[in-house]
Amino acid sequence: MTDTSTSSMTDVVAADVRAVWHPYTQHAIMPTPLEVVRAEGAYLHTHDGRRIFDGISSWWVTTHGHCHPTIAAAIAQQAATLDQAIFTTFTHEPAARLADELLAVVPDGLSRVFFSDDGSTAVEAAVKMALQYHANRGFARRTIVALENAYHGDTFGAMSVSARSVFTDPFASYLFHVIRLPDPMDGDPVTAFDEAIANHRDDIAAIIIEPMVLGSGGMRMYDASIVHALRTRAAAQDIVFIADEVLTGFGRTGPMFACGHAGVSPDILCLSKGITGGFLPLGATVATDVIFRSFLSDDRRRTLFHGHSYTANPIACAAARASLRLMNAESQAQRDRIHAIHTARMATLACNRVVQRPRVLGTIAAFDLSLGDGYLSPVGPELAAFALAQDVLIRPLGNVVYVLPPYCSTADDLDHVYSVLDQFVSRF
């Protein structure tokens, strides 16, 4: 049992230990949390003076760097002008302009932006849109197709289309059935999709995938030809193709969106995480005009009855607009540099016998450790603690180790991360 004596803690940490329930945390064995007092660039600064490199972009949300002055200024200006307005009766400039600006950069054919709060809610909206799209046209298509080892969020619809795992086990009887295709890193989802279509042609409403990389499932990367093949088959059968780019959007895999690797456009695109540069929560579900028009009717029952109190919050939208302006040539050069460093350093790491399946896609680098298997492997927390002791924040997915840094990270920053990883794997 972790010692939770508050005698040597700061007031903030003591209050946390008394009152806070952290996500994805087993409090019976968790270490005492560190108090972060400020952040800048690729670094988190703690109360006791440590400067910790954020090797995972604080759960994949920080793109341009912490506390980027352009985004901070946009937030301050908006907060002094309009903080919140109900997004039914009213609209406002930050949301309307952001929708226009998103449509200018997302894959071709997408034309309507539905705002929500985060990645899970963006997926919830997408699944409901897909199912109701068919229902509004008088078709009883009810089945969703998804990939094994997928992760799409922690709300119930998002859990249902995610792989069954330790995350979902307590809720298994409450989740709706999906047709599961093989993980494309290990199997053939295209042939399996063909078989699903042949057997369930009139019942499949949608297919949802994380294009190019299954994130929480283990940073499992796969070829663009699979994305293209799945998209082509879905289009031929009027199956709604949902691309969950909550992780991969806004340059994480190199291009602006991972669908770009395959040259495809989805029917529905789910966005969050990096949309505000890591400053504020915001989700967006972007749909085609065909999807949107299926909801237009004099019959109010065909309405999309979905929404959130903070839908299109003006301050979050202002942050997103500022972040989007920073997705420029300089940002692309930063991402290219990170990719090159990942590629070189992963080649070196791969020489160690415990490093398996090294892989790189854009700003994401990952490998498996042969020291245990699965999300609950103890090697993950062991490596996380080893790295944190050397002022590097990484959070392995069990025995899957990944580096996913802010775009402002320098070569020296990444050299330090890889030095720590070299030290760890060299112990075995």
Active site positions, annotated: 24, 151, 244, 273
Token code pair at residue 387 = 């790295």
What count of residues does the chain have? Answer: 428
Which phi and psi angles does 29 have, rounded to 5°? -130, 5
Dist. CA 54–CA 60, nearest whole Å: 10
For 209, the enclosing helix (H) or strand (E) is strand 204-209
Q: Report helix, strand or coil for 355.
A: strand
Euclidean distance between the first and the last CA atom of the chain, given in angstroms as a whole number: 28
Q: What are the CA-CA distances from residue 412 to residues 138, 152, 351, 409 (Å)?
A: 59, 34, 22, 8
HSE-up of residue 302 (Cα within 13 Å, Cβ side): 15
Nearest by Cα to 123 from 311, 299, 268: 268
Q: Report helix, strand or coil for 45.
A: strand
User: In b/e form, how buried is each residue of 100-111, taking b as 16+ CB within 10 angstroms?
Assistant: eebeeebbeebb
